[in-house]
């Protein structure tokens, strides 16, 4: 993440499906996710989903001019997270296509480094996150 843009109070932030961007220095990641449409169960518009991500080899930034006590240039850390989704999409009428989504994420930073410490400016400590989103399509012209 670019620290220059960190003052947007969230309005310019990219929303990552599993809370982290899994993009630290040298970090590698694997992501699996699936959604299942419940229309075959006589529940048109409803869907459920799950995803999992595992990341490894995250190294601290090399530009640390004044590193904290947790900084170790040889240290690498791992991150993982899973998410669960429940979705309903309106099927017809004026609000057709409007989506209501409940998204739960459990994120685990597999280290004892405090959030944004140790040279990891974009990695934070363990979090549990719940989001409720309403996504409404519209046409301007």
d(C-alpha 99, C-alpha 17), whole Å: 16
Buried/exposed 4-42: b ≥16 CB within 10 Å, e otherwise:
eeeeeeeeeeeeeebbbbbebbebebeeeeeeeeeeeee
- pLDDT (tens digit, 9 = 90+) per residue, 34-93? 999 999 999 999 999 999 999 999 888 877 667 777 777 888 889 999 999 999 999 999
Q: What is the percent of the chain where pLDDT is above 70?
A: 87
CA 23-25-26 angle, 5° bins = 90
Distance separating alpha carbons of residues 41 and 114, to the nearest angstrom: 45
Model's pTM, two decimal places? 0.77
Domain locations along the chain: 30-135
Cα–Cα dist 22/7, whole Å:
21
């Amino acid at each position: 993440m670019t620290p220059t843009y960190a003052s947007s109070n969230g309005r310019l932030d990219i929303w990552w499906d599993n809370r982290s961007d899994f993009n630290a220095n040298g970090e590698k990641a694997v992501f699996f996710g699936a959604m299942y449409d419940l229309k075959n169960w006589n529940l048109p518009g409803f869907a459920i989903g799950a995803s999992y991500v595992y990341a490894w080899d995250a190294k601290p930034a090399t530009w640390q001019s004044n590193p904290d006590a947790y900084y170790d240039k040889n240290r690498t850390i791992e991150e993982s997270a899973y998410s669960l989704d429940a979705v309903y999409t309106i099927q017809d009428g004026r609000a057709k296509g409007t989506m209501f989504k409940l998204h739960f994420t459990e994120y685990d930073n597999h280290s004892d480094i405090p959030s944004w410490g140790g040279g990891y400016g974009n990695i934070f400590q363990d979090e549990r996150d719940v989001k409720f989103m309403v996504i409404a399509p519209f046409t301007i012209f």
